[in-house]
Amino acid sequence: MVNKLYLVTPRGFCAGVEMAIKALKWLLKVYDQTIYCYHEIVHNKWIVKEFEKKNVVFVEDPKDIPDGAIVMLSAHGTSPSIEKRFNQISSMTINSVCPLVTKVHHEAKKFSNENTQIIYVGHKNHDEAKGALGVSPQNMHIVETIDDVDKLDIGENVALLAQTTLAKSEWEPIMDYSKTKYPDLKMPRKSDLCYATTNRQQAITEILPYVNTVLVVGSDNSSNTQALVKMVNNNDVEVFRIDDVKDIENLKLEGNIAITAGASAPDHIVYEIIEKINPAELENFKPIEEAEYFPLPQQLRANIKNVSNFLSIFNTSESNPKSEYGISNDKKWTATEALNSL
Binding interface with ligand SF4 (CB under 6 A): 14-17, 75, 98, 100-101, 164-165, 194, 196-197, 224, 263
CA distance linking residue 20 with residue 26, whole number of Å? 10
Beginning with the edge strand found earlier in the chain, give each strand of the sheet holding 238-242 in spatial order: 238-242, 213-217, 255-261, 2-8, 281-285
Q: How far is CA 39 from CA 64, 73, 75, 76, 95, in A?
A: 12, 7, 9, 8, 12
Active-site residue identified among 128, 144, 283, 324: 128
Nearest approach, Cβ of residue 185 and ligand SF4 (Å):
23
- Strand-pair partners of 121: 143, 162
> What's the CA gap between 56 and 58, in Å, rounded?
6
- The DSSP symbol for 295 reads P
**Residue least distant from ligand SF4 (Cβ):** 16
CA–CA distance from 119 to each of 106, 110, 146, 178 (Å)?
15, 14, 11, 9
Tell the smallest beta-carbon distance from residue 228 to ligand SF4 (Å): 11
Q: How far is the CB of 242 from ligand SF4 (least distance, A)?
A: 19
Q: Which is nearer to ligand SF4, 140 or 263 (CB)?
A: 263
- Residues 6 or more apart in contact with residue 57 via CB below 8 angstroms: 34, 35, 36, 37
40 is catalytic: no
- Contact between residue 261 and residue 9 where contact means Cβ atoms under 8 Å apart: no
CB of residue 294 to ligand SF4, shortest distance in Å: 8
Nearer to ligand SF4, 165 or 303 (CB): 165
Q: Which is nearer to ligand SF4, 75 or 214 (CB)?
A: 75
Nearer CB in complex with ligand SF4: 15/71: 15
How near is the Cβ of 311 to ligand SF4 at its closest, in Å?
31
* Residues in Cβ contact with 242 at an 8 Å cutoff, skipping those fewer than 6 apart: 215, 216, 217, 218, 248, 269, 273
Residue 239 pairs with which residues in a beta bridge?
Answer: 214
Nearer to ligand SF4, 34 or 191 (CB): 191
**Closer of 47 and 158 to ligand SF4 (Cβ):** 47
Q: Name the minimum Å distance from CB 258 to ligand SF4.
A: 20
- The minimum distance between CB 75 and ligand SF4, in angstroms, equals 5
**What is the rounded end-to-end Cα distance, in angstroms, of the chain?**
37
C-alpha–C-alpha distance, residues 319 and 227, integer Å: 46
Q: Which is nearer to ligand SF4, 100 or 161 (CB)?
A: 100
Question: Are residues 213 and 206 in contact, defined by beta-carbon separation less than 8 angstroms?
Answer: no
For 56-97, strand residue ranges (E) read 56-59, 70-73, 92-95
74: nearest Cα among 227, 224, 264, 260: 264
Residues labelled as active-site residues: 128
